[in-house]
Chain A
Amino acid sequence: MDYLLAFLVGGTICAIGQLLMDLTPLTPAHVLVLFVCSGAILSGLGVYEPIVAIGGAGATIPLPGFGHTLTSGVIQEIEAKGFWGIFSGVLENASVGVVAAVVVGLFITLIFNPKG
Chain B
Amino acid sequence: MGKLTREQEVYKRWANARKPKPPLVRNTIAAFLVGGLICTIGQIILNFFLSLGMNLKEAGGPTAAVMIFLGALLTGLGVYDRIGKFAGAGSVVPITGFANSIVAPALEFKREGYVMGVGARMFNIAGPVLVYGMATAWLVGLFYWLVHK
Do the beta carbons of A112 and B107 come within 8 Å of each other?
Answer: yes
Q: Chain A interface mostly helix, strand, loop or mixed? A: helix
- Tell me if B's interface is mostly helix, strand, loop or mixed: helix
Total A residues in contact with B, Cβ cutoff 8 Å: 78
Chain A CB within 8 A of B113 CB: no
**B65-98 Cβ-contact flags toward A at 8 Å (1 or 0):** 1011100110111100100000011101111111
**Chain B interface residue count, Cβ-Cβ cutoff 8 angstroms:** 79
Q: Are A28 and B89 in contact (CB under 8 A)?
A: yes
Which of B36, B45, B76, B97 is in CB contact (< 8 Å) with A7? B36
- A71 in contact with B140 given A12-B32, A58-B43, A114-B110 (CB within 8 Å): yes
What 6 pairs across the A-B complex have the smallest Cβ distances? A14-B35, A10-B39, A11-B36, A96-B61, A115-B78, A112-B76
New A-B pairs, 15, CB < 8 Å, besides A6-B43, A23-B24, A60-B60: A8-B36, A11-B36, A17-B89, A28-B97, A36-B133, A60-B42, A62-B39, A62-B95, A74-B137, A78-B148, A89-B137, A100-B68, A102-B122, A104-B99, A109-B110
